[in-house]
């Protein structure tokens, strides 16, 4: 009697769901994407002004000690249009997916800090254990995150 593989429904945003479905399918699981949220570029005029101001600040001296991206989507929507990271500015990633997105967007892997790929967890606490010693009094760190429409 043939057994039916377990069915997996992936609810991540579309870009991530496609990757998960591909990886799960390659392992013999019946995976289907059902994205429950949509993530896209900011369209709010005030948010776009904030994005432009952050891009401008990145190019100024003294700029940021580091940019902390809370997710791969944060990197994918912030980095296009941003100047290259100045020497000495670090890009922080709470996990390997965020680090990959930073590399895809042109950040040199040598400028990215985060938990080791085999870390037991990927979150801001694990990231802080790696990057906390870099921060000095007076340093500026830009936390790049998204927000919901209308919030």
Q: Evaluate if residue 151 carries a pLDDT over 60.
A: no
Confidence at 87, pLDDT banded by 50, 70, 90? confident
Q: From CA 120, how far away is CA 117, in angstroms rounded?
A: 9
- Residue 27, pLDDT score: 92
Mean pLDDT of 55-61: 83
Q: Evaluate if residue 108 carries a pLDDT over 90.
A: yes
Q: Is residue 77 within 8 Å of 38, Cβ to Cβ?
A: no
114 is written with which tokens? 């985060």
């Amino acid at each position: 009697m043939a057994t039916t593989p377990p069915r997996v429904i992936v609810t991540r945003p579309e870009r991530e769901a496609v990757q998960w479905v591909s990886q799960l399918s390659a392992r013999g699981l019946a995976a289907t994407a059902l994205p429950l949220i949509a993530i896209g570029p900011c369209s709010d005029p005030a948010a776009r002004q904030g994005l432009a101001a952050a891009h401008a600040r990145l190019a100024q001296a003294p700029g940021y000690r580091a940019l902390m991206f809370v997710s791969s989507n944060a990197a994918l929507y912030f980095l296009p249009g941003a100047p290259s990271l100045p020497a000495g500015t670090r890009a922080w990633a709470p996990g390997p997916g965020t680090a990959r997105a930073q590399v895809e967007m042109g950040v040199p892997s040598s400028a990215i800090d985060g938990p080791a790929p085999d870390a037991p967890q990927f979150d801001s606490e694990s990231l802080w254990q790696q990057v906390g010693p870099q921060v000095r009094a007076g340093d500026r760190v830009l936390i790049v995150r998204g927000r919901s429409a209308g919030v």
